[in-house]
Amino acid sequence: MSNPNYHPLDPDDPDGVEREKQRVREMLQRYQNVFGTEEGRVVLGDILTLCHFGETLDPKDPVQAAEYNVGVTILRMAGVLDPLYLQLGMGR
């Protein structure tokens, strides 16, 4: 299943990198808007439970590891862990 919001960068488009950074900034803001509310934090806690946070992961279970990684990604997008915008050198 592909992400409809993902658009690969066109090497012939010099503005593509800036547009992609802007798209990521906007998505980061959306995550922070949603999960920054009281209800959003409750939902985030439920999602993290489904993603095995607070549990010992079975290293032989790739599905469990993948679900955990989804939780990490959501936390990063929400600005809770090692914010993605810092890794992208985008600042705030």
pLDDT of 58 strictly over 70? yes
| Structural domain contains residue 43 | yes
pLDDT of 92 strictly over 50? no
Q: What is the pTM of this model?
A: 0.67
| Structural domain contains residue 10 | no
Structurally, the chain folds into a number of domains equal to 1
| Structural domain contains residue 60 | yes
Percentage of residues in the chain having pLDDT higher than 70: 76
| Structural domain contains residue 25 | yes
Q: How many CA atoms lie within 13 A of 5 on its CB side?
A: 9
Q: Which residue has the higher pLDDT, 1 or 19?
A: 19
Q: Tell me the residue range of the domain where 63 lies.
A: 16-87
| Structural domain contains residue 5 | no
